[in-house]
Every structure is written in structure tokens, then in C-alpha cells.
Structure 1
């Protein structure tokens, strides 16, 4: 089978690498710290912003997956050099560039977001992701490289660390019967991306020519509000009914004065106070990919929660 190179060994990169290996592909993971290679997945220590090093490590690859995850408050400084380096490496090697992205590019939604929705973001992080995609798409349209992009809603699943998921971080409080404190309106509907569905989408985009030259959304179960999702998780844990409180934006702004991460959360307030729902019907119609049923997502996520916290 072909060589597939995944850049980044966080939750997305690791889950995608494991799936590609299970499908019979040769898989190489590049990361700043490297890792322990196995018969299924090779690890190499490579700096993602080093185009020469990435190109050398991706020589002969059929696809190059951008699963890098810079610190939330460093997107404006860390993303541009990484995106340019991976685009350069894909051009040099001929590998398809598959980028993992999100819904930030659409800005404040006025309804379900599809890949055809306007790229209307005005916040810092959204503008960064728009610039990355437009640079890649321009190179594709010029015939220099082949690109595609996956966009997903907020992550959920047992593979996702607490700091990367609005739901997973609440599991210890739910298990103890304590109040879960959430960002934004707990009752607006939201889409949630199950990480195995994210990996399945990326693996498909990297192996199907129909994916090229456009973005695709990761199929997700019907939307659930934060309150509904937390109630589902509490029930799956066998815990008391979930009690959900809302952290005032004034508090978050105050903490943001000393916390760069929370300052960035406030910058995308629209994501938490409006319905934030994904439309992935094009992905399902084209590739036959369907989301994992929500009850299975809940059971898997709750099943990975520690017995004590």
C-alpha cells in the first residue's frame, strides 16, 4: 500500500495514523518530539515549519496530512509558517495535502454551516484559517499541488484530552454530581465531531480523487446543546442528573487579562452564544461517510472517564 505521512501526533494525528495503518497503508508520523515506532506506524522527529525536513520525510508519499495543533493563543504566529511549509513539501513531493481544519472560517453563523457557506470570519483565528485555505486553494488551482481540507465541529470522544473538549473536561464533575460550568449559552444547539469520524474523513480525503480542490465537513450526529449532551453523559456514567451553570462573559474577560487562552475564547464568543451546527450532507452523499450514532459516542466517551477524579 501507499505511504501516508501524518504531521502532528495529537489526538487527530494519532487517531488518523492508527486508522490508516489498520487500512493497510504504510504510515509515518512526523512531530517535534518524535515517538516510538511500531510495526504499524513509524515515528520521526521533524519540525513542521521546516519545509526541507518535511519534504525529505514525505518523499514518495501519496498523501500528507496536516494534523498540527498550535497552542490556541499562538495561531497567528505559529500557523502561517507551518501551513506554508507543508504546502511547499506537498508541492515538492507530489503528495496530496489534506489539512485538518474547523468551522472558524465561517465567522458568526446565521444557520447550519456547509462548505459552501461564506468565509466570513472577522476574528483573529478565523482569518488565519481563511488565509491558510486560500493559499492552498490558489496553489491547487495553479496546478502546483493537490489539496483538500476537512472541517469539523468541536471534538468529543475517549481519544480527546480534557483540555481539547468542552464536554470531556466536564466528566469528573459529572461523575461526582457536581455542577458543570460551561462557556456560552448551554441551551443553543451545537454539533459535536466524534474523533473516529474525523479520522475516517481525513483518511477518505487522502485516498479519493473526488476530494481534491475543495473543503469537506466531517459528518456529525444531530446537534445537541451543551446541557443536553452533558445530561446524556451523566446518564451514561450512572451519575446524578447533570446540573449545568454558565460562566459569565464578564468573568471570562477578567480572567483573559492574565490568561491568553481564555482571551482567545472571548474573541470567538459567537461560537458559544449562537447555534453552531454543521451540514456535512455533501460528504455523506459523495463518499458514503455517516456519523457514529450519538448514543455510541456518549457510551464510548463516558466509558473512558476515570473512575475517580
Structure 2
């Protein structure tokens, strides 16, 4: 079996590689600038180029789409539909199964628990793009043109998750440096976060179970906890103060005038202002999988940061 990762330099790919090694599959890493990883094959390809992508996927049994584009709505609007169409066409041509690692932006602000049946009600430009990608792939899946599955997660944290993880930047790195942890907008509301090792294990499970295909799955997510509770756990394992500096919405808008990433992130702030409860009950029941507790996940992440 050959398992191919598109977006091979990203956080999720980094966690997925050791999972695939553990299961003794052939691993192919595809990126515009792939890094050599012992025990894997690396191929240079741009997912925006259909011929390059097809050539990179040839011979694959499973393809993981874990590409992360620059966090910019205009770039997403221009490039994501092209990438998704190219990936779908390449998998249809080669017969490779597709596992699409997705986020939850298409749901928008939800009052209550978010399940796989929650309707799309995006309130952001990036959410609109994600909804369109999902609809494109779901249409192909429903038509029987491709064996694919969509795997969704909220914001994530974990060992080896660094600048792409807000909890890593604002909590773990701050506490390790002896600074005060920061939290966005509201540390008093419950907030679902995903643990990257659980994400990687779950992606492999979906890729290797026939019943997973043709469906949407929420990746393993424990019951949400508040920002204060999360920081308290991190501080315990980093032996730091659990004080929190809250970054209010008005300040984030000002920061966005100077910081392009924060400007782009502003439309997603509803995720930090209001409760966000993502349910993975469907996945847990189907595959008898228990998400890693926040206690254990935060402990492992804290230890990794301490030992860097």
C-alpha cells in the first residue's frame, strides 16, 4: 500500500508520518518544496498544476489532502477550488482513495453542539470557500465517481504544532518563556480543540476502513473546556502562573491593521467570542475510539515544549 500526503510539510502531515510508519505502508510526501524524511519518498509537485499532481499521485492507494494555503481569503477563493478539482480528477484517474482534512468554518456560528448533520451557515469568506469545496467533493462522492471521506477538526494543538497552532503560540510558548498566557476575546466560554496525535491516528483509521468512505466525520474531540481551564492545565505542567491576559476584540482589530494574519483571522473571531462545541460522537462510536483527555494532551504538549 502506498499512502501519499499532499501538503507534506504541514503540522498534520508531521504527525501522520510516524502513524503511517507504524503501520508499515509506503509513504510518499508531495509538496512544492518537500523535505526529506527518512523512510519516505519525496516528490516535488504543485497542486495547482494538474499534470504535476497527477504524476505525483500515480500508484497511490490512498491520498491525504492536508494542504494549508496562506491564510488569506482572496488566495483561498482563487486557489482552493483549483486544487480540489485537480485532486479529485487525479484520484478519479488513478483510482486512489481520498481523505480530505477539513476544518469547520462552513458551519459558521452555531448555538449548540456541532455534528456532521449541522447545516452549512458560514459567516466568513473563508467559510464560504470551505463550504464550496465540501459541496464539490460531496457531489463527486454521491455520484460514485470517487471513494473519498471528509475529516473535520477545529483549531488544534499538540507536540510539534508550533506557529500554526494558536494555543501553542499564545499559551505554551508564552508560559515556557515565563510570560503571561494569552487568550482571544473570551476565556470563560467552552471551546473545542483537537489534539494533533489524535487527528493523525483518526485519519489513518478513516483511510483504511471501507465504511468511512462516502461520509463526513468529525475527528476525535473531547468535551470542550474554557480558556481559563486550558491555561490552568498548561500552567500546571509548565510550572507557571495560570494568569491570563485577554486580547479583546477591539484590540485584535487594531493589531490587524499592522499584521496581515491577524487581519485575516478577524472574521473568524466568533469562534473565540461564543461557545464552540464540536461533537465527534459519530467517529467514537463507529471506531471505538476514545479521544485523548485534555489533561493528558496538554501534559504531553507541555513536556514537548519544555524539551525543545
SS in 1 for 2:100: strand
User: What is the CA distance between 1:215 and its match in structure 2?
Assistant: 0.9
Whole-Å Cα distance in 2 between the matches of residues 165 and 225 of structure 1?
A: 17
SS in 2 for 1:305: helix
| Kept after mapping to 2: 8 A contact 1:178/1:243 | no
Whole-Å Cα distance in 2 between the matches of residues 248 and 181 of structure 1?
A: 10
State the Cα deviation string for residues 74-99 of structure 1 (Å, max 9, x = none): 32233222112111111111111110
The reply to whether residue 196 of structure 1 matches residue 189 of structure 2 is no
User: What is the CA distance between 1:17 and its match in structure 2?
Assistant: 2.5
SS in 1 for 2:98: strand
SS in 1 for 2:277: coil
> Which blocks of at least 5 consecutive residues in structure 1 are unaligned?
none
| Kept after mapping to 2: 8 A contact 1:157/1:194 | yes
Q: Which residue of 2 aligns with 1:49?
A: 48
Q: Which residue of 2 aligns with 1:70?
A: 69
CA RMSD, aligned part only?
1.6
Compared CA separation, residues 249 and 283, structure 1 to 2 (3 A):
same
State the Cα deviation string for residues 275-297 of structure 1 (Å, max 9, x = none): 11111000011112221122221
User: What is the CA distance between 1:37 and its match in structure 2?
Assistant: 4.5
State the Cα deviation string for residues 87-113 of structure 1 (Å, max 9, x = none): 111111111111001111110011111
- Superposed, 1:172-191 pairs within 5 Å as 172-191=173-192
| Kept after mapping to 2: 8 A contact 1:167/1:230 | no
User: What is the CA distance between 1:213 and its match in structure 2?
Assistant: 1.4
| Kept after mapping to 2: 8 A contact 1:101/1:149 | yes
Whole-Å Cα distance in 2 between the matches of residues 37 and 155 of structure 1?
A: 23
- Superposed, 1:223-302 pairs within 5 Å as 223-240=224-241, 242-302=242-302
SS in 2 for 1:44: strand
SS in 1 for 2:69: coil
Whole-Å Cα distance in 1 between the matches of residues 185 and 90 of structure 2?
A: 39
Compared CA separation, residues 21 and 259, structure 1 to 2 (3 A):
same
Whole-Å Cα distance in 2 between the matches of residues 56 and 299 of structure 1?
A: 42
| Kept after mapping to 2: 8 A contact 1:49/1:86 | no
Q: Which residue of 2 aligns with 1:125?
A: 126
SS in 2 for 1:29: strand
- Which ranges of 4 or more aligned residues in structure 1 deviate by more than 4 Å? none
SS in 2 for 1:72: coil
Whole-Å Cα distance in 2 between the matches of residues 18 and 43 of structure 1?
A: 15
Whole-Å Cα distance in 2 between the matches of residues 44 and 18 of structure 1?
A: 18
State the Cα deviation string for residues 19-59 of structure 1 (Å, max 9, x = none): 112111111010110221422x2111111222222222222
TM-score between both structures, scaled by the size of structure 2 = 0.94
Whole-Å Cα distance in 2 between the matches of residues 164 and 107 of structure 1?
A: 21
| Kept after mapping to 1: 8 A contact 2:185/2:247 | yes
The count of corresponding residues between Structure 1 and Structure 2 is 304
User: What is the CA distance between 1:245 and its match in structure 2?
Assistant: 2.0
Q: Which residue of 2 aligns with 1:99?
A: 100
State the Cα deviation string for residues 222-266 of structure 1 (Å, max 9, x = none): 2111111011001101123x1112212122112223333112221
Q: Which residue of 1 aligns with 2:167?
A: 167
